[in-house]
Amino acid sequence: MFNLIFLVAAFSLVWGLRLQSSPESAKKGNMLASLGMGLAIIATLFFEIRDTETYNNLFWIVIPIILSFTIGTYVAKNIQMTSMPQMVSIFNGLGGLSAVFLSFIELYKISFLSGENSISYQIILLLSLFIGSIAFTGSFLAFAKLDGYRWSEKLTLPYQHIINIVLFLVVIALSYQYFTTSNDFNFIFLILGVSLIYGIFFVAPIGGADMPVVISLLNSFTGITAALTGIIFSNNVMLLGGILVGAAGTILTVLMCKAMNRSLLNVIIGGFSSSGKSSDKEQSGDVKEISDSDFAIQLFYSSNVIVVPGYGLAVAQAQKLCKEIQEILETNDVEVKYAIHPVAGRMPGHMNVLLAEADVDYSKLIELDEANQNFNSTDIAVVVGANDVVNPDAIDDTGSPLYGMPILKVWESSNVVILKRSMNPGYAGVQNPLFYKDNSKMYFGDAKESLQRLSSELKTLSN
């Protein structure tokens, strides 16, 4: 009976994830997956555990569940959509912490009580402890970096990569010692401590802009620990769920690295932030500014516009204004589309969520390849708070750190207007020759204020 429930639960998890492949069915998919999770939890509460006695400890189960339900739903309801990456990383860290607790307790039982203690079983426990710890401390540091805490950028020590390798070897040596001393629990404390520190140092050298990749990687780590814990408790649903997450995290990590044209190793070593300023090319020519009324008139009398939104739009919370302008233009028969770069925002697909929050129809969003085919028939491309993803250096300057990254070729449209706070370079720290092209004009200011000016200008035109 309970095995059947576990089977249904496992099926729901897989099918639920499968349904997430299209926007129409994704909500149902998430429902189905959570239903599967619920079933699995209920079945775990009541099924007969083979070979061991069970006790009625409902108090210890119900209280944490009620507490976590309250906390979890509260956070989920009140979090800003722009802070989504931070939240995912915190939740992920908690998942890792949970696995750390579990493997720690199991190891404790082996040392002090009589538990199962085959060597393979203990190796799995140690692995789960190690990976879970990295996921835990790594995720919290990733959160701190994303949220812009200053101290989080200063944790890197000199020779960090060598230190990391040494720490890793120390963990292996300690594990070996643990086995030779026939399960001396002090070594578990040491392994835990070193693993937690390793998690911090693992993330420390990686630049803030690369955090999404790291979060996705840590997410797959948590998945792997979940799967390992599944082996420990010989529970197939846990194993399956864990592997699904591990696979999801791995694929997303690879996709993100591809979108930035960098190898995973390159991201982990953190080469981007250190080598970023090497391009010494002098920028020539002047930057042209466009006035409020010129910009509004150009947009108003064009026939099609592509908006390229970036994180600048999101931090300024200007998505709703963007949508407002889109509506004004559409009533005047201007076709408005949004070109979404795979790494626009702070996570892949983050920009899509932010625009969806502002009620922008997702059929108006076009992806990189389609956008690049459309630019040469576009009247105006409007770049809002994006920079590196529209940098032509990525195509023609082999010395640029961005070289090879797939980008949006906005300059192929007849006119480009770039909304930007200042001439400061973007995350990669490189200059953008796009701003100096003949057909580009700058529109300076905070994205929200700029769009507000533009919107009121457009309203006077349409009246």
Q: Using the minimum distance from each CB to other proteins, give the nearer residue, 53 or 438.
A: 53
What is the three-class DSSP state of 155? Answer: coil
Select the residue interacting with other proteins from 31, 157, 162, 165 (CB under 8 A): 31
Compute the distance between CA of residue 330 and CA of residue 343 in angstroms, rounded to an integer.
27
Select the residue interacting with other proteins from 160, 177, 236, 266 (CB under 8 A): 236
Select the residue interacting with other proteins from 208, 349, 392, 425 (CB under 8 A): 349
Q: Using the minimum distance from each CB to other proteins, give the nearer residue, 250 or 432.
A: 250
Q: Using the minimum distance from each CB to other proteins, give the nearer residue, 91 or 403.
A: 91
Q: Using the minimum distance from each CB to other proteins, give the nearer residue, 38 or 399.
A: 38
Tell the smallest beta-carbon distance from residue 123 to other proteins (Å). Answer: 8
Binding mask 206-235 for other proteins (x = CB under 8 A): ---------xx--x--xx-xx--xxxxx-x
Compute the distance between CA of residue 276 and CA of residue 205 in angstroms, rounded to an integer.
14
Spell out the residues 6+ positions from residue 428 whose beta carbon is closer than 8 angstroms to its own: 209, 272, 276, 388, 391, 401, 402
Looking only at residues 245 through 284 of this chain, which bind other proteins when binding is defined by CB under 8 A? 245-252, 255
Select the residue interacting with other proteins from 7, 11, 98, 449 (CB under 8 A): 98
Q: Using the minimum distance from each CB to other proteins, give the nearer residue, 166 or 251.
A: 251
Select the residue interacting with other proteins from 81, 127, 269, 287 (CB under 8 A): 81
Question: Would you count residue 65 as binding other proteins (CB under 8 A)?
Answer: yes
Angle, helix 236-259 to helix 2-19, in steps of 10 degrees = 10
Compute the distance between CA of residue 67 and CA of residue 73 in angstroms, rounded to an integer.
10
Tell the smallest beta-carbon distance from residue 174 to other proteins (Å). Answer: 19
Angle, helix 236-259 to helix 23-46, in steps of 10 degrees = 150
Compute the distance between CA of residue 409 and CA of residue 430 in angstroms, rounded to an integer.
17
Per DSSP, the residues of 247-279 read HHHHHHHHHHHHHTT--HHHHHHTHHHHHTT--
The answer to whether 362 and 389 have CB atoms below 8 angstroms apart is no
Beta partners for 253? none
Neighbours of 367 (CB within 10 A): 12
Looking only at residues 116 through 155 of this chain, which bind other proteins when binding is defined by CB under 8 A? 119-120, 123
Looking only at residues 322 through 341 of this chain, which bind other proteins when binding is defined by CB under 8 A? 340
Number of helices and strands in the chain (H, E): 18, 6
Please return the burial class of 414, using the count of CB atoms within 10 Å of its CB with bins 0-12, 13-18 and 19+.
middle
Tell the smallest beta-carbon distance from residue 14 to other proteins (Å). Answer: 6
Hey, what's the torsion of the CAs at 209, 210, 213, 218, to 10 degrees? -110
Looking only at residues 351 through 370 of this chain, which bind other proteins when binding is defined by CB under 8 A? 352-353, 356-357, 359, 361-363, 365, 367
Evaluated on CA atoms 308, 390, 350, 143, the torsion sign reads negative
Q: How many residues bind other proteins (CB under 8 A)?
A: 113
Select the residue interacting with other proteins from 5, 183, 342, 437 (CB under 8 A): 342
Question: Would you count residue 372 as binding other proteins (CB under 8 A)?
Answer: no
Q: Which of 279, 294, 345, 276 is nearest to 454 (CA)?
A: 294
Q: Using the minimum distance from each CB to other proteins, give the nearer residue, 1 or 424.
A: 1
Any idea which residue has 């129809």 for tokens? 361
Tell the smallest beta-carbon distance from residue 64 to other proteins (Å). Answer: 4
Q: Which of 428, 423, 461 is nearest to 442 (CA)?
A: 423
As annotated, the active-site residues are 388
Select the residue interacting with other proteins from 167, 200, 243, 315 (CB under 8 A): 243
Select the residue interacting with other proteins from 11, 91, 300, 403 (CB under 8 A): 91
Question: Would you count residue 348 as binding other proteins (CB under 8 A)?
Answer: yes
Tell the smallest beta-carbon distance from residue 315 to other proteins (Å). Answer: 16
Question: Would you count residue 22 as binding other proteins (CB under 8 A)?
Answer: yes
The distance in angstroms from the start CA to the end CA of the chain is: 69
Question: Would you count residue 18 as binding other proteins (CB under 8 A)?
Answer: yes
Question: Would you count residue 195 as binding other proteins (CB under 8 A)?
Answer: no
Contact region for other proteins (CB under 8 A) — 105-113, 142-150, 419-427, 431-439? Answer: 105-113
AA letter at 15: W
Question: Would you count residue 462 as binding other proteins (CB under 8 A)?
Answer: no
What is the three-class DSSP state of 307? Answer: strand
Q: Using the minimum distance from each CB to other proteins, give the nearer residue, 22 or 398.
A: 22
Q: Using the minimum distance from each CB to other proteins, give the nearer residue, 223 or 270.
A: 223
Binding mask 32-61 for other proteins (x = CB under 8 A): -xx--x--xx--xx---x--xxxxxx--xx
